[in-house]
Amino acid sequence: MRSYWVWFGLLIVTWSLAGLFSGDIEGLTFMVGSALFFGCYFLSPLLEKKPSYHMFLFILMSMISIVVFWPLHTTQVNFFALLIFGLIGGKAAYRLKNIHAILIGTILYFGAIVPYVYGPLEYLLSISLYAILLSIALTAFHQTIDHEQKLVEQQEALRSEFRKVKRQLVTSEELVRQEERAQIARDMHDSVGHKLTALLMQLEVAQMQTTDLESKDRLLLLKDLAQESLADTRTAVKTLKNDEVGGLSAVIQLIRKLEAESNVRITFSVKQGALSSMLTNQQSITVYRAVQEALTNIMRHSKSREASVAFSVPTGRYFRFQISNPVDKTTSFQEGFGLTAMRERIDQISGNLEITQANEEFRIIGTFPLAKGEQL
């Protein structure tokens, strides 16, 4: 925005001086030409994302400036008009592609030199030398800009890879811890819980078979202790299972860590019982990996730094997740390694993956059947 107003200020000053020191410009021509020229200048930011229209706008600005400052009754060179041509050429070199900038420069060069073809030779030489020096300077400037852009892209790629490795490390550690908790809970459920239940049944049978009152009292005490131990085991197993990665809360927590390390702002939407749904370990990993890959693609390929993530259970039997982000325009795309791997993970849990573009929005929608939760 600052550079826009700097260029605008330079054009205003130079345009005014060119009109002031040009004695044969009609007032109406200057006023109409000025209005059209600066009208095009104000429209230029709106067309930056449309290269062809942007180029035609620069051609129009160049033609307007040539017509306005075309000498009618004098062969005296208006050097302020040459400065205006130079400013337009510099703006074109900064904003347009190489071939488009060369076209604009060619138009401006002929517009500057044709009126003086039959004039003094020094005029032609000075204008040509000015054009050559300006072309060299703008070429060097354009190469510098391209080099800086490549460096920025390389730096962003390195940052993206660093974040990816860091996320994978954090995620792997978290998933390993969650898997250990889940394994401990299953072992306690299958071993300790079942043995305590069997012990209670044996104590119940022994209490029914004995006739000694003292023995019955001892068996009752032992049965109470066994029941308390079984209750404590149930509580411990539930606590461990609440920390298991099978819950959507753990997935959201991992995604929040991902958001904190990236430049993408994520908007969550959790509805229709999705938060309380019990996902298996594999399902949770699949959902997280899908969101992770989608956000990575946004950081790499999208100009937008916003994404929406929605979780829902529409029918109570199927889990649905959707990742969407705005795009400039609908373009064709091909599934790369990341999207292909995402589709394979969804297939492994008997799910379905849809990738669509509609209404200037890119969507990744996955659905898969929910598994029944384990009960102690």
Class of domain 245-376: alpha beta
Task: Give residue-wise pLDDT tens across range 203-217.
Answer: 777 777 777 777 777
Which two tokens mark 15?
């345009």
> 129-146: per-residue pLDDT in tens?
888 888 888 888 878 888
Q: What is the pLDDT of residues 249-304, one digit of tens each?
A: 767 776 777 677 666 788 888 876 777 777 877 788 888 888 888 887 777 777 77
SS3 of residue 336 by DSSP: coil
State what percent of residues in the chain have pLDDT above 90.
Answer: 9
How do strand 318-326 and strand 352-358 relate by DSSP bridges? unpaired
Instruction: Report the range of poorest mean pLDDT among 29-33, 89-93, 199-203, 255-259.
Output: 255-259
Structure tokens at 164: 């990816």
User: Residue 362 pLDDT more than 90?
Assistant: no
The pLDDT value given to residue 374: 38
> Which amino acid is present at 102?
I
pLDDT, residue 30, reads 87
Band of pLDDT at residue 1, cut at 50, 70 and 90? low
State pTM to two decimals: 0.46
Mean pLDDT of the chain: 79
What mean pLDDT is predicted for residues 18-42?
84
Tell me how far apart the alpha carbons of residues 174 and 224 are, in angstroms, rounded to a whole number: 38
Q: What is the pLDDT of residue 63?
A: 93
Domain boundaries, the chain: 2-119, 245-376
Q: In the prediction, which pLDDT does 257 show?
A: 72
Cα distances (Å, whole numbers) of residue 285 to 133, 175, 179, 349? 60, 8, 11, 11
Q: What is the pLDDT of residue 262?
A: 65
Q: Is 308 helix (H, G, I), strand (E, B) or coil?
A: strand
Rounded to whole angstroms, how far apart are CA atoms 38 and 31? 11
